[in-house]
Amino acid sequence: MHELSVALGIVKIAEDETKKANATAVELIELEIGTLAGIELESLNFVWPAAVKDTVLENAIKKIITIKGKAKCIDCDTVFGITHFYDACPKCKSNFKGILKGKELRVKALEVV
The answer, as to whether pTM is greater than 0.85, is: yes
- Strand 69-73's sheet: what is its strand order? 79-82, 69-73, 97-101
Q: Which pLDDT value is given to residue 1? A: 57
Three-state SS at 42? helix
Query: Which residue pairs, CB below 8 angstroms and at least 24 apart, start in 73-80?
Result: 73/97, 74/98
> For 81-100, what is each residue's pLDDT tens digit?
999 999 999 999 999 999 99
> Closest Cα partner for 52 from 39, 44, 20, 104?
44
> For 30-55, what is each residue's pLDDT tens digit?
999 999 999 999 999 999 999 999 99
Domains plus CATH for the chain? 3-112 (3.30.2320.80)
How far is the C-alpha of 74 from the C-alpha of 60, rounded, in Å?
42
